[in-house]
Amino acid sequence: MEVFEFLTVLTLFIGVPWIVFYNVRRIKEARYKAQSGTGEGLRMSELQALIEVAVEDAIEPLQRRIEELEQASEIGLLDAASPALDLDLDAEDPEAVPARRTRARA
């Protein structure tokens, strides 16, 4: 047998199966990582938990303000004509919407 024939047989019986099994193993590992959630992505439950925390954090100051206004209304500190209690503002009418306070930039 010549050297060329020997290398061809060696490649066919050792090299090709090794390449096939190596790639199959690599694909199975990638599929396992994708299914197990160990990758970069989030699971649906993790995403929902993050959204719930963000919503709770965003709502907390509003709930505190509502409680303050309710307490002030109960003890009579708020006037009925107060803009804090005016819920009938037309958002389309720019004159009816109170001016927004802005900070001066330094």
Convert the pLDDT of each residue in 18-47 to its tens digit.
999 999 999 999 888 877 755 566 788 889
pLDDT at res. 42:
75
Give the number of other CB atoms < 10 A from CB of residue 3.
7
Provide φ and ψ at 17, rounded to 5°. -60, -40
For the segment 71-93, the average pLDDT, to the nearest whole number, is 64
- Is 90 within 8 Å of 96 (Cβ atoms)? yes
10 or 21, which is more confident:
21
For the segment 69-78, the average pLDDT, to the nearest whole number, is 80
Query: pTM of the entire structure?
Result: 0.37
- CA distances to 18, 47, 49, 82 from 61, rounded to whole Å, are 62, 23, 20, 20
Cα–Cα distance for residue pair 99/5, rounded to 1 Å: 88
Q: Is the pLDDT of residue 51 over 90?
A: yes
Reported confidence tier of residue 64, pLDDT bands at 50, 70, 90: very high
pLDDT at res. 57:
94
- Is 69 within 8 Å of 78 (Cβ atoms)? yes
